[in-house]
Structure 1
Amino acid sequence: MGGKPQKKPFPWHIPVFLAPAVLIYTLVMILPLAETLRLSFFQRDAVSQATSYVGFANYARLFFDPFWGGPFFNALGNNLYFFVIHMLVQNPIGILIAALLSMTHLPGKKFYRTAIFLPTLLSFVVVGFVWKLMLSPLWGVSKDMMSSVGLGHLFMPFLGKEETALTTLSLISVWQFVGIPMMLIYAALLSIPDEVIEAAECDGVTGLSQFFKIKLPLILPTVGIISILTFVGNFNAFDLIYTTQGPLAGPNFSTDLLGTILYRTFYGQQTQPGDPNMGAAIATVMFFIILAGVAVYLFVIQRKLTRYEM
């Protein structure tokens, strides 16, 4: 006679182990995000200091009021440019360096790997201050270094001109963080089974042809992860701009990013009083921009990469 199947006891150890992480994540991420969203639906009167619910009025001002919309869309365009520079310069260079470091008989690989990754560990303040000194027309060494190789006539105040400031800062950021895609791609290349490489060599696929036909398709998921990390990091960028150009993101707001306009709006700057409600609206828009980018990667790009792997 078969008895009733015994009911499995509830696995209490799972919520017990998850509770600390969930609690910390809720306190650090969920509650501040909810409070930011709540703040964006209110406005405080400058005279009476009374707070009133205004719905989506702050977002309407942000998008359609010239006083807010002009600086916001300028910062958004600069952020997109900042991201494109990293995608077109940082990540390809990182892949190239990783491919070179993965060569079997390359001497000094450990030294090169450490030297290239080292700037990633430096503080934004140190990086910004050092590059600002180097590029200074008054006491910087860049002019003499360019003159020593016959390029002195190309020197200009790169951080002081609207046409070159943002590009210069983008390349400084590339220099600092190129070690991250390099290390991720390097690890992905090392994880490719030796049997696959040996089979390709037996078929006569070597050199650049082997990299583009065999290795690159196998590391595409890692390339996708690097791309989304670059997107999230660039749309949260603030420190380097603040360190080198100040909160006004000069010259003439040409290096203004969403992070710097959020800082000025929330806390105020010089004659501009702080407006936490408009700052919360900008922060919420930034959150949804990043969320949209991550969603596109997870539900569109990653699925295609997974099918490609299979």
Structure 2
Amino acid sequence: MAGRRAVRWHIGVFLAPAVLVYTAIMIVPLLGTLNLSLFARGEDGRVFVGLANFATLFGDPRWSGAFWNALGNNAWFFLIHMLVQNPVGVALAALLSSPRLRMAAFYRTAIFIPTILSFVIVGFVWKLILSPIWGIAPGMLDGIGLRSLFAPWLGREEYALTTLALISVWQFVGIPMMLIYAALLSIPDEVIEAAEIDGITGWSQFRKIKLPLILPAIGIISILTFVGNFNAFDLIYVSQGALAGPDFSTDILGTFLYRTFFGFQLQLGDPHMGAAIATAMFGIILLGVCVYLFGIQRRLRRYQF
């Protein structure tokens, strides 16, 4: 019939490869993890236990203490990134987007380079820098008269996690900087010119005009930071090992999952409890993403062009 719409079969053809790959490497392993968390080891092999593994994880003192400690450390790790990395990224983007700044391209490249470095390289290099025995940090502080402020930050429980979070901030601050920089460049010139005609320039222009217009980009960066930090593992493992010392003060959900699933030293691996931890991590991340999508993103849409 002439009035019927044509079937756009080509859309399915173009989407099929991406859907198949995503299903194979994401959906199938996720469903397998969820299924594994519902079983436990028995005398005759795997035994279906339902939600018993989650009851053990949240209620058994032998498991719940480690889980809540790792979750609290993850929350602190994320909070430092939100309070330090993202504001610094916004400030750097605002500075580098100024047409009066010379060598802006060089500065952008220099700040972004650490993001392409391996976690292994970053972890070991910073361990060497901060070492009280052969590190250069004590000498650098001594050179400016602040040697008394130096401490073995990675070896003290009260400082280790914050130190690692700041190292992570140093490595990844280039990502929010580049995203915000792109958002600033997308603001129409007419808007900026109108603001300048009205006498709004400098910091006042950024605060009143540019900042509201880049809020959607800041929201995206925030949710990416949340997902990335609650999936963190590499830097902690490289710097502090699977035990996340000292005394589990840097233990996060990723390292807790690793020890539980694969085992470490005298601890035997338990894939079923490890799958329960992975499922709990998925639930936490899913909850955070849903809060952003349905509670925050809708409010930010009014600032988009």
Q: Determine if the alignment matches structure 1 residue 256 to structure 2 residue 251.
A: yes
1:9, distance to aligned residue in structure 2 (A): 4.9
Decide whether the 8 Å contact of 2:244 with 2:251 is kept in 1.
Answer: yes
Write out aligned runs for 1:117-136 (5 A): 117-136=112-131
- Specify the code of the residue in structure 2 equivalent to 1:199: A
Write out aligned runs for 1:1-310 (5 A): 5=2, 7-45=4-42, 48=43, 50-309=45-304
Q: Once the two structures are superposed, what CA deviation does each residue of 1:126-183 show, in whole Å capped at 9, x if it has no partner?
A: 0000000010111100000011111100111010000100000000000000000000
Gaps of at least 5 residues in structure 2 are none
1:49, distance to aligned residue in structure 2 (A): 5.6
- Specify the code of the residue in structure 2 equivalent to 1:260: T
The TM-score normalised by the length of structure 1 is 0.96
The separation in 2 between residues aligned to 1:7 and 1:108, in whole angstroms, is 58
What's the C-alpha RMSD, in Å, of the aligned pairs? Answer: 1.2
The separation in 2 between residues aligned to 1:49 and 1:98, in whole angstroms, is 60
- 2:264 is paired with a residue whose SS is coil
Q: Once the two structures are superposed, what CA deviation does each residue of 1:62-119 show, in whole Å capped at 9, x if it has no partner?
A: 0010100000000000000000000000000000111110111111111110000000
Identity of aligned residues (%): 70
The separation in 2 between residues aligned to 1:261 and 1:35, in whole angstroms, is 20
1:7, distance to aligned residue in structure 2 (A): 4.4
- Specify the code of the residue in structure 2 equivalent to 1:277: H
The separation in 1 between residues aligned to 2:101 and 2:303, in whole angstroms, is 31
Gaps of at least 5 residues in structure 1 are none
Decide whether the 8 Å contact of 2:216 with 2:300 is kept in 1.
Answer: yes
- 2:227 is paired with a residue whose SS is helix
The TM-score normalised by the length of structure 2 is 0.98
